[in-house]
Amino acid sequence: MIVAVKLFGPQAQLAGTREARVELAGVPTVAQVRAALAQVAPALVPSLATSRMAVNHAFVSDSDTISATDEVALIGMVSGG
């Protein structure tokens, strides 16, 4: 299955796109999506460990699974005051 992962802000700039597409077999976990992102967008590797993943507008853990119709987003660390 092809999973489109939305990217925002600095991560979109690093990857050179606002959406990265990864191909995964079976019913992939969030951890597998994260690992596939490292392969298709190596510039994201330094931030992947500290980024959160969201599926259908809710934060998820690496053990959660992704379906073909899910909206997936990589949410980088933010700061502000």
Q: pTM (2 decimals)? A: 0.90
Q: What is the pLDDT of residues 27-69, one digit of tens each?
A: 999 999 999 999 999 999 999 989 999 999 999 999 999 998 9
The single residue listed with the structure tokens 């959660």 is: 64
The burial class, CB within 10 Å (0-12 / 13-18 / 19+), for 22 is buried
Q: What is the pLDDT of residues 10-28, one digit of tens each?
A: 999 999 999 999 999 999 9
Q: Domains for the chain: give ranges and CATH numbers.
A: 2-75 (3.10.20.30)
DSSP state, residue 72: E
State the pLDDT at residue 26: 93
